[in-house]
Amino acid sequence: MAKFLIVEARFYDHLNDLMIKGVTAELKRSGHEFEVLTVPGALEIPGAISLAVESGEFDGYVAVGVVIRGETYHFEIVAGESARGIMALTMDGVAIGNGILTVENEAQALTRAKPDEKDKGGEAAKAAIALYELGQRFAA
Ligand SMILES: Nc1c(NC[C@H](O)[C@H](O)[C@H](O)CO)[nH]c(=O)[nH]c1=O
Ligand SMILES: CC(=O)[C@@H](O)COP(=O)(O)O
């Protein structure tokens, strides 16, 4: 059994609730423990994970967030930089599943957040578990 930290950017409550439902269902199904940490936005997720890694308390991480395009270039920054930060940590050997939705509108977010539809939360949890197990294999 491993212990995962779910780091959620709680920008849209109802969408995050659906995403977290999918993530936790998969972690429970796989027999792993988890905690949830909430940060203001997706841009804060990589930094929060980096701080948590220093604690040595967790075996893997699931990033959860919803980034919906607005009127300005800020969407590109939030979507791109949160993904870049997560990828940099992953390339440094941290097991992270990226469940940050980057979408054009709420309808696209909803279908991807719902566990009984595209279940991107469950998908991110599976990715985190896969990287954790890979790390175990190569450390053996
Ligand atoms: N517009 C969205 C944001 N923006 C906030 C940033 O993530 C960040 O918290 C702020 O720039 C301060 O550093 N965040 C989301 O998660 N989703 C959005 O749609
Ligand atoms: C993804 C965002 O940062 C976005 O929601 C911000 O909206 P706007 O570009 O209209 O300021």
DSSP letters along 118-137, please?
T-HHHHHHHHHHHHHHHHHH
**Which one, of 136, 134, 138, 127, lies nearest residue 64 by Cα?**
127
pLDDT of residue 29: 98
The range of the structural domain enclosing residue 57 comes to 3-139
pLDDT at 35 over 90: yes
Where does ligand 2 bind, in terms of residues with CB under 6 Å? Answer: 67-68, 70-72, 74-75, 78
Count how many domains the chain has.
Answer: 1
pTM of the model: 0.97
Task: Find the CATH number of the domain harbouring 42.
Answer: 3.40.50.960
Specify the pLDDT at position 112.
98
The number of the ligand 2 atom at minimal distance from the alpha carbon of 41 is 3
| Mean per-residue pLDDT over the chain, rounded | 98
For the stretch 18-30, pLDDT in tens is 999 999 999 999 9
Mean pLDDT of 68-72: 98
Distance, CA of 113 to CA of 121 (rounded, Å):
7
In this structure, what DSSP letter does residue 94 have?
Answer: -
Provide the pLDDT for residue 140. Answer: 83
